Amino acid sequence: MEQSTYTPARPGTREIYDYSSPFQFRLPHARPRKTIDIAHDGILVSADPFGRILQLSAYHSEHGIVVAAPFAQFDGTRFRDPEYVRSYRRLPLDFNKNGKPGMGLVVVDPDCNVSSLEIEVPNHYSARSGYQPDESISVSCVLEVRDGIAHQHLTIRNTASESYSAVLALHVCASVHRASYGQLTEGGPIPLPECHNVLRKSDDSNFINVANDAVGARLQVWLEIGGEMVDVGPYERQDGHDQPVEVAKHFHVSVPAHSEVSVAAHFQLIADGFRSGPDMQQIWSQKGASGALYHDESWRYLNQGWLEPMSIKTYIIRRNVDYILGNCCVPVSENEVAVLADHVALPLGWNRDNYWQIRFLLNVAKNIDVLRNDEDARVAEVHVPESVRHQRYTNDDYREAIHTTARRHLSWVFRRAQRPHGFWHRSYLVTGRPKDGPLFQLDQQCYPLLELCEYYGAYPAETEFVSDLITGTNTATEQGAAAAVSSPVEEVLAAIIARADLGEGGTGLVPTDESPGDDPLDYPFSFSNHVLLWHTLNSLRVMLAMLLELDLDLCSRLLAQCMDLLVSEEPRRFLTTDGDRPMFSYVTDGRGAHALYHDANDVPTVLFPQWMPEVNVRDDLRSAWNNTMAFAFSPRNSRGYATGGRTSVEEGADADDLPPFAGLGSVHSPGAWPLGYFQELRYALSTEDRDAARSAWRRIQGAMQWDGTFCEAVDVTTGECTSKAWFGWPGAMIADLLVKIRAGETPDLLD
How far is residue 491's CA from residue 295's CA, in Å, rounded to a whole number?
Answer: 56
Is position 355 within any domain? no
Residue 12 has pLDDT above 70, yes or no: no
536 against 304, higher pLDDT: 536
Q: What is the mean pLDDT of residues 129-148?
A: 91
Average pLDDT, the chain: 89
How far is residue 136's CA from residue 350's CA, in Å, rounded to a whole number?
Answer: 50
pLDDT of residue 279: 43
Residue 256 has pLDDT above 70, yes or no: yes
Is position 46 within any domain? yes
Residue 95 has pLDDT above 80, yes or no: yes
Q: Which of these ranges, 122-136, 404-418, 422-436, has the smallest mean pLDDT?
A: 122-136
Q: Based on the domain organization, do 99 and 213 belong to the same domain?
A: yes
Helix, strand and coil in the chain, % to nearest 5: 35, 25, 40
Q: Which of these ranges, 409-423, 589-603, 632-646, has the smallest mean pLDDT?
A: 632-646
Query: Residue 70: is the preceding peptide bond cis (ω within 30°)?
Result: no
Q: Based on the domain organization, do 590 and 638 belong to the same domain?
A: no
Last residue of a domain, one of 264, 281, 300: 300
Is position 91 within any domain? yes
How far is residue 107's CA from residue 462's CA, in Å, rounded to a whole number?
Answer: 53
Q: Based on the domain organization, do 716 and 585 belong to the same domain?
A: no
Residue 649 has pLDDT above 50, yes or no: no
Q: Which amino acid is present at 138?
A: S
Interval 232-242: pLDDT, tens: 877 888 999 99
pLDDT of residue 591: 93
Per-residue pLDDT band at 377 (split at 50, 70, 90): low
pLDDT of residue 275: 47
Q: Answer positive or negative: Cα dihedral of 305, 307, 312, 316.
A: negative
How far is residue 679's CA from residue 454's CA, in Å, rounded to a whole number?
Answer: 21
Angle at alpha carbon of residue 405, lines to 401 and 408, rounded to 5°: 135
Maximum distance among all alpha carbons in the chain?
Answer: 92
Q: Which of these ranges, 316-325, 405-414, 486-495, 551-560, has the smallest mean pLDDT?
A: 551-560
Q: H helices within 184-308, ranges in order?
A: 299-302
Q: Based on the domain organization, do 558 and 696 belong to the same domain?
A: no
Per-residue pLDDT band at 476 (split at 50, 70, 90): very low
Within 10 A of 651 (CB to CB), how many other CB atoms are there?
8
CATH of the domain at 153: 2.70.98
Q: Based on the domain organization, do 643 and 595 belong to the same domain?
A: no
pLDDT of residue 489: 96
Q: Based on the domain organization, do 194 and 59 belong to the same domain?
A: yes
DSSP secondary structure of 497-536: HHHS--STT-------SS-TTS---SSSEEHHHHHHHHHH
As for how many domains the chain has, the answer is 3
How far is residue 673's CA from residue 660's CA, in Å, rounded to a whole number?
Answer: 13
Residues 275 and 41: beta-carbon distance below 8 Å: no
CA distances from 354 to 63, 278, 410, 719, 729 (A): 20, 26, 10, 26, 8
Residue 3 has pLDDT above 50, yes or no: no
Residues 147 and 277: beta-carbon distance below 8 Å: yes
Q: Which of these ranges, 2-11, 252-261, 591-600, has the smallest mean pLDDT?
A: 2-11
Number of H helices, E strands in the chain: 22, 30
What are the residues whose beta carbons fall under 8 Å from the beta carbon of 15, sequence distance 6 or more?
9
Percent of the chain scoring above 70 in pLDDT: 87
Is position 435 within any domain? no
Angle between helices 488-499 and 463-471 (to 10 degrees): 50
Last residue of a domain, one of 264, 284, 300: 300
Last residue of a domain, one of 275, 300, 325: 300
How large is the C-alpha radius of gyration of the chain?
A: 26
Domain range for residue 248?
23-300
What are the residues whose beta carbons fall under 8 Å from the beta carbon of 100, sequence distance 6 or more?
70, 94
pLDDT of residue 676: 99
Q: Which of these ranges, 130-134, 243-247, 299-303, 670-674, has the smallest mean pLDDT?
A: 299-303
Angle between helices 674-686 and 728-742 (to 10 degrees): 20
Residue 289 has pLDDT above 80, yes or no: no
pLDDT of residue 399: 96
How far is residue 70's CA from residue 68's CA, in Å, rounded to a whole number?
Answer: 7
Within 10 A of 98 (CB to CB), how many other CB atoms are there?
10
Phi and psi of 425, rounded to 5°? Answer: -80, 180
Is position 600 within any domain? yes
What are the residues whose beta carbons fall under 8 Å from the beta carbon of 46, sequence distance 6 or more?
35, 36, 37, 53, 54, 55, 92, 343, 344, 726
Q: Which of these ranges, 398-412, 602-616, 640-654, 673-687, has the smallest mean pLDDT?
A: 640-654
Q: What is the mean pLDDT of residues 118-134?
A: 91
Q: Based on the domain organization, do 546 and 658 belong to the same domain?
A: no
Q: Which of these ranges, 377-381, 622-626, 702-706, 708-712, has the smallest mean pLDDT?
A: 377-381
Q: Of 655, 640, 731, 719, which Cα lies nearest the Cα of 691?
A: 655
Q: H helices within 341-487, ranges in order?
A: 351-366, 368-371, 374-380, 386-389, 395-411, 442-458, 463-471, 473-479
Q: Based on the domain organization, do 665 and 596 belong to the same domain?
A: no
Is position 377 within any domain? no
Q: Answer positive or negative: Cα dihedral of 473, 475, 476, 480.
A: positive
Q: What is the mean pLDDT of residues 201-224?
A: 89
pLDDT of residue 348: 98
Q: Based on the domain organization, do 218 and 295 belong to the same domain?
A: yes
Is position 555 within any domain? yes
Q: Based on the domain organization, do 586 and 678 belong to the same domain?
A: no
